[in-house]
Amino acid sequence: MCQSSVFIMENGKEKEIKRDVILVEPVDEGVKIQGFFEAPQVVPARIKTIDLLKHRIILEPIDLEKS
């Protein structure tokens, strides 16, 4: 299977927020992510890096108030 783990940058460090992600989609509010048999969730962030070889997606938080 080719699921990925999603991490968000916090204080210069990566924090895992979801494993076995099957969908990543940019939306106006940030990034929508979804795992198997789970409802999608929207993270107020933007995609920083996608490493398909390591199955890792790194997000950077965004401030929706400033957008």
Residues 2-57 pLDDT 10s: 799 999 999 999 999 999 999 999 999 999 999 989 999 999 999 999 999 999 99
Residue 45 pLDDT:
97
Q: What are phi and psi of 18, to 5 degrees?
A: -165, 140
Per domain, the residue ranges of the chain are 4-61
This prediction's pTM: 0.88
Long-range CB pairs of 49-55 (<8 Å, 24+ gap) are 50/4, 50/24, 52/4, 55/2, 55/3, 55/4, 55/5
Six-digit token pair at 26? 């940019």
Centre a 10 Å sphere on the Cβ of residue 43 and count the other Cβ atoms it contains.
19
